[in-house]
Amino acid sequence: MSDNVHIFDHPLIHHKLSIIRDKNTGTREFRTIVSEIAALMCYEATRDMPTQEIEVETPVGVAKCQKLAGKKVAIVPILRAGLGMVDGMLSMLPSAKVGHVGLYRDPETLAPVTYYCKMPPDIADRDVIIVDPMLATGGSASAAVELLKGYGCKHIKLMNILAAPEGIAAMQKAHPDVEIYVAAVDDHLNEHGYIVPGLGDAGDRIFGTK
Ligand code: PRP
Ligand code: URA
């Protein structure tokens, strides 16, 4: 896997992943854990955020501290399933703004169809983290990145819980400048474009629609 793909090897993330992969895990627990995984991944995916040194008066003395250097961030979930990761991200980045991209895969062609887009007005000035639990063919993620580049965004990261090798390859071909953060890379896609072994349909499992 090349340098722009970050695969997580943290035991907490993998423990939680084992729960959401389980077909017997219900909607409530699934939703909670997706959010928790997003928070843990956010912690790692923001490791390169710039900081500045400040002095803070403690009750006992003066401490030299590192404070975030004021870089503005936007979280952009791909609807629907990406919504499940937003609260976890905001628990780590409470000042981030949130943009939304509505995309679904045409069930026949698997091509992404855009049906909604709403971004913060200063999105071009923000570091963007796109969130979506699944990177399958890579069509939805590529379309979301394309859309954000159209707004003038220059620093875009993509965060997925599970990816197929096909999706990573497609993203690297279309957008080699985008850093990809993924908890695990699975084996392959099946004939319906589902990740195997995967976790099923993330949107349906988060929202209880099946
Ligand atoms: C799922 C998932 C991704 C997309 C990944 O969404 O949440 O957005 O599929 O597949 P791709 O990499 O092949 O594009 P889906 O289209 O099922 O929509 P939903 O979230 O509204 O259920
Ligand atoms: N979207 C999902 O929700 N699951 C998959 O396995 C592939 C795409």
Q: What is the pLDDT along the chain (210 residues), one digit of tens a residue?
A: 678 999 998 999 999 999 999 999 999 999 999 999 999 999 989 999 999 999 999 999 999 999 999 779 999 999 999 999 999 999 999 999 999 999 988 888 989 999 999 999 999 999 999 999 999 999 999 999 999 999 999 999 999 999 999 999 999 999 999 999 999 999 999 999 999 999 999 999 999 998
Query: Which residue in 107, 95, 153 sits closest to 127, CA to CA?
Result: 153
User: Please, which residues bridge with residue 165 across strands?
Assistant: none
SS3 116: strand
Answer for the pair 75, 93: CB distance below 8 angstroms, yes or no.
Answer: yes
For residue 64, count CB atoms less than 10 angstroms from its CB and return exposed for 0-12, middle for 13-18, buried for 19 or more: exposed
pLDDT at 106: 87
To the query of whether residue 109 is one of the catalytic residues in this protein, the response is yes
Write down the pLDDT at residue 1. Answer: 63
| 159: nearest Cα among 6, 2, 1, 36 | 6
User: Catalytic site residue 3?
Assistant: no
Q: Scanning the structure block, which residue is given the tokens 């928070």?
A: 39
The Cα 144–Cα 89 span in angstroms is: 18
Q: What's the CA-to-centroid distance between 200 and ligand 2, angstroms?
A: 6
pTM score of the predicted model: 0.96
Tell me, what's the pLDDT at 35?
98
CA 190 to CA 192: how far, in whole Å? 5
Q: Residue 9: its pLDDT value, please?
A: 86
Q: Kindly give the residue spans of alpha helices, DSSP state H, lying in 70-137.
A: 83-92
pLDDT at 136: 97
CA–CA dist 23, 25 (Å, integer) = 6
The active-site residue out of 109, 122, 187, 209 is: 109
Instruction: Report d(CA 38, CA 34) in Å as an integer.
Output: 6
The DSSP code for 16 is: H
Q: Ligand 2 mean position to 91 CA, how many Å?
A: 25
Name the residue with the closest Cα to ligand 1, atom 1. Answer: 134
Active site residue 127: no
What per-residue confidence (pLDDT) applies to 200?
97
